[in-house]
Amino acid sequence: MAKKPSDAEKVQEFMTQLDHPLKSEMEAVRTIIKNASSKIAERIKWAAPSYYYKEDLVTFNPRNQSLVHLIFHHPAIEKISSPILEGDYVSRRMTYLHNMAEIETHKAEIERILNELISFIDE
């Protein structure tokens, strides 16, 4: 009987098969998210890589081929102020990254947002 792939293995398979012009940039953001906290785990949700800690935190939206689109979808995201969080949707904010330079510039801010969300979950 074949071993069922883990959630992380499913994400790796998704990324291996992904045909996207900003695949390297998506991999860089994926690494930032995974390294932001050892509490964060990954899985496939909404047919894309998604990250959670007890509850959903952020998911890639790979449909747009001209940027890296992150959907932060935890209710506490409304309490976090950041220049990279866009929109006023209920319990959601978007982040759009266009190239590796922007990803590097916003690395610490992505980490801060994720760790702040985790702190809300742990309250």
107-118: average pLDDT: 98
What average pLDDT does the chain have? 95
Task: Tell me the pLDDT tens digit for each residue of 24-56.
Answer: 999 999 999 999 999 999 999 989 999 999 999
Can you give the pTM of this predicted structure?
Answer: 0.92
CATH code that applies to domain 20-114 = 3.90.1150.200
Residue 2 has pLDDT above 90, yes or no: no
Task: Tell me the pLDDT tens digit for each residue of 65-83.
Answer: 999 999 999 999 999 999 9
pLDDT of residue 121: 95
Contact 59, 95 (CB under 8 A): no
pLDDT of residue 48: 95
Say which residues have a Cβ less than 8 Å from residue 55's Cβ, sequence separation at least 6. 74, 121
Domains of the chain, residue spans: 20-114
What DSSP string runs through 34-99?
Answer: HHH-TT-EEEEETTEEEEEESEEEEEE-TT-TTSEEEEE--GGGGG---TT-B---TT-EEEEE-S
- Confidence category of residue 114, pLDDT binned at 50, 70, 90: very high
DSSP 18: -
- Confidence category of residue 123, pLDDT binned at 50, 70, 90: confident
Place of tokens 């610490």: 108
pLDDT of residue 117: 97
Q: Which residues of 64-79 are buried (b: 16+ CB within 10 A; e: fewer)?
A: eeebbbbbbbbebbee
Find the angle CA(22)-CA(37)-CA(82) to the nearest 5 degrees: 65
